[in-house]
Structure 1
């Protein structure tokens, strides 16, 4: 993200959320384009057969564009396209360009396997920000964890993104085994000209009524105190790390429901639309409320009585206690001046943000 676009982002955020009614409208949105994935990560179950039965329920291009229209009307500033693996969608370029035309910032979360060709072909010319998953500084280990030979392709893609003067963000999932390589990953990202976000692996069961889970997830969970201490050390050394001390503090304290520094505002600040076209509240991990926004107005749903009651609960639901998801923490940061300053304003002027 260029400094000019960041300032535009900050200006619009301030106007939207502080000039009239605090968090009157959502700032960010995530659209899950597909559940399809070309990797087989050992700490993820989305590629397993039960999930793949859902593939025929993906939204059509026209349906996603309609949702983008509604997000624009709601005042959303940033739209993140995720999956599964979003680069498997043939209409990705069209959707990114359409988002940019609506004066929203399109971003992408990808494993990087198909990214290089998309960047070099110019199909992602309207994309400003790309998050690429990379967990190890070597191909041998990363490929083993991801289930396919992907490391070299991801590195090649990151270099291409940087050459196009777009922001590349490496996303590292810290496990019990790779925690000792956090600094190696910071060095690699710096060498590539990329930013890096470092967050711990979590024991998350998506759509709990379906009981999808990685059976041996406990074998991957890192020591949170060791993780947090290393983050505090690394941010003093590497200007390209965007994971901040305040995030480490929240994670080490046990996440939401265990500290008062920050409460979850995901339901308010972050619109999540799943691959079936359902907007979910309060989050996609625990969807208490699901509404098909291909059939109902997204704006009406967001401002509905049912959604408002969920928003007011913040992180007081039983399932919220102990949640340390980085996306929920980052989304909630702007809802308090102290965390907004630490996460975004201070980091921006220190060079630790995009």
Structure 2
């Protein structure tokens, strides 16, 4: 029998646990697999029998053949149940149905990749984590953005999250969007919708693998107060209607704060009425302009809010309408079981100048994707350290009065100005 790792599954090899994912029409499903399992899947090319694969694994790991065969066979048959592998009873040369395999066991391949195209923005949102408004002095030009996209494609990235500032404000945005659409399976553009015009919609209507995340932070009056423009809700509403007209996937992003908390259900109702795929609910982080507002929720407070979110899910969710976390959030939950938030290896953030940080909240420089080679960043000591870095938790931090602010979050812990922070001392020791 000749096992074959099959489409629509994709294997991304990387340092530590590799990732298996599958595309369907509305989402991606993720699972983690250890290196041994990933090696077996890679050998399942429809040219080798189980016996031959077992022999290869026995040699690689200096293992007794019979034991290697038992372990390999068990893994293959479990993978058949999961749908990753099919068995053929004869050698088949045609490999068209083989699942795609990317990556390298010596480096990480982040699955949640955010690219900030600009800091420029027409709005003055009171909760903006990076105080967007004006461009950075050294923002990437089109050619430099293209360098970054090519490197991400080469390393096996398949899904991007495009944000800003306001990404659609760039004069070359359509050119960038065209490159993203050609090079990646899917991308999501996070936008206020403020720059949408009938002419703009005409230019984007045929990009069917681009999803649009429109920010709605309350009903009209509240949304406009938070966003700092009296017509911001009207323009966001126009953007959603225009995208739905051409059957493009739309997600609403609702950033929770005390001013709009009592409108969460209304926004969910609005989203369902407008025909969006999902309403994502996030918490305001004490960063950027939000530092001046008493709007941030600590982790324990947000856990209470999640109970309300779960109640609303039970009322409004259907097979075509979802509330809450996206697929990367589910993957990060799996990673958090290992007491690590995933920043720097599951998620990365690329700033408008090409600098790479672990996430939007964790401003620790890993390199620059315009000037540095892929391995210089993603096989570096810094990134491998982040993969093994334990998150701030009660076990580590004890009775620290700031734990509610940074519990489980490397980024918030990194920002805290506390001289005797136990987590920060561990972090600084790790990067020496």
Shorter-chain TM-score: which interval? 0.7 to 0.9
* Match in the other structure for 1:202: 285
| Equivalent in 272, 276, 280 of residue 190 of structure 1 | 272
Matched, 1:166 2:244: no
Residues in 2 aligned to 1:78 and 1:292: alpha-carbon distance in whole angstroms: 20
- Identify the residue that residue 6 of structure 1 maps to in structure 2: 24
- Deviation, 1:226, is 4.3
Does the residue aligned with 1:228 lie in a helix, a strand or coil?
helix
Q: Secondary structure at the match of 2:315?
A: coil
Q: Distance between the aligned counterparts of 2:144 and 2:125, measured in 1?
A: 30
Q: Which range moves more in the overlay, 72-81 or 214-223?
A: 214-223
Which of 119, 128, 135 is the equivalent residue of 2:210?
128
Range moving further from structure 2, 59-68 or 221-230? 221-230
Query: Could you tell me how far apart the structure 1 residues matched to 2:26 and 2:257 are?
Result: 36
Q: What RMSD, in angstroms, separates the aligned Cα atoms of the two structures? A: 3.8
Q: 1:27 aligns with which of 87, 111, 116?
A: 111
CA 1:45–1:273 in structure 2 vs 1: closer, same or farther (change >3 Å)? closer
User: Aligned runs of 1:1-354 on 2, under 5 Å?
Assistant: 6=24, 10=28, 19-20=38-39, 24-44=108-128, 46-47=130-131, 52=134, 55-117=136-198, 120-123=201-204, 125-126=206-207, 127-137=209-219, 139-148=220-229, 149-194=231-276, 195-203=278-286, 205=287, 212-219=288-295, 221=297, 223-239=301-317, 240-243=321-324, 260=337, 263-280=340-357, 282-316=358-392, 321-322=406-407
Cα displacement (A) at 1:246: 12
Residues 74 and 233 of structure 1: is their aligned pair in 2 closer, same or farther, counting only changes over 3 Å? same
Relative distance call for 1:271 and 1:200 in structure 2 (3 A) is closer
- Name segments (4+ residues, structure 1) moved above 6 Å: 11-18, 245-249, 317-320
Aligned counterparts of 1:23 and 1:301: Cα–Cα separation in 2: 9
Q: Normalized against structure 1, the TM-score is what?
A: 0.74
| Distance 1:262-1:109 versus aligned 2 partners, 3 A rule | farther
Shift in Å at residue 147 of structure 1? 0.3
1 or 2 for the larger relative contact order (CA 8 Å, sep ≥6)? 1
Q: Identify if the C-alpha distance between structure 1 residues 35 and 24 changes in structure 2 by more than 3 Å, giving closer, same or farther.
A: closer
Within 1, Cα distance between the matches of 2:329 and 2:259?
19
Kindly state the Cα deviation for residue 271 of structure 1 after the two structures are TM-superposed.
2.9
What is aligned with 1:345? none
Show structure 2 runs of 5+ residues with no match: 1-21, 40-104, 398-402, 411-432
Q: How much does 1:145 deviate?
A: 1.1
Q: 1:118 and 1:72, CA in 2 relative to 1: closer, same or farther beyond 3 A?
A: farther
Deviation at 1:291, TM superposition (A): 1.4
TM-score by length of 2: 0.62
Matched positions, count: 305
Q: Residues 224 and 269 (structure 1 numbering): CA distance in 2 closer, same or farther, change over 3 Å?
A: closer
Which sections of structure 1, spanning at least 5 residues, go unmatched? 206-211, 250-254, 326-354
